[in-house]
Amino acid sequence: MYKYSEYFKKAQGFTEASINRRFETIDIVRRIGVIAPNHIYLNNYPISNPIASFNPAITVIDEDAVVYARIIVGYYMYVSAIVAIRIPLEDLYTGNININYYA
């Protein structure tokens, strides 16, 4: 039984979509490391580390991977910014991304 049937009508094709839907995930990238917020140092800012970092994007410039991530620097007011973090490609290849610190 459709849980919300008394509130919303089923869309056309609902039954077919329910039959064909497969609950699986196909990873298109491989995780090679995690950069925790305490491994990110902020320059020219009153606090040294962000509270959180997420939603990264990456590009390669010369011998560095440049990660653009959103950071949260204020807990109560949810102050956020986008930072560029330069990571040597060697850190990615060797797995040192999990232990090194970046500014």
Convert the pLDDT of each residue in 80-100 to its tens digit.
999 999 999 999 999 899 999
Residue 5 lies in a domain: no
Class of residue 70 by CB neighbours under 10 A (exposed 0-12, middle 13-18, buried 19+): middle
Residue 11 lies in a domain: no
pLDDT tens digit string along 14-67? 889 888 888 898 888 888 888 999 999 999 888 899 999 999 999 999 999 999
Q: What is the pLDDT of residue 2?
A: 61
Amino acid in the structure at residue 52: A
Residue 20 lies in a domain: no
Beta bridge partners of residue 61, listed in sequence order: 64
- Report residue 4 as tokens: 């919300």
Q: Name the pTM for this structure.
A: 0.70
Which range marks the domain in which residue 76 is found?
32-98
Q: What is the pLDDT of residue 15?
A: 87
Domain count, the chain: 1
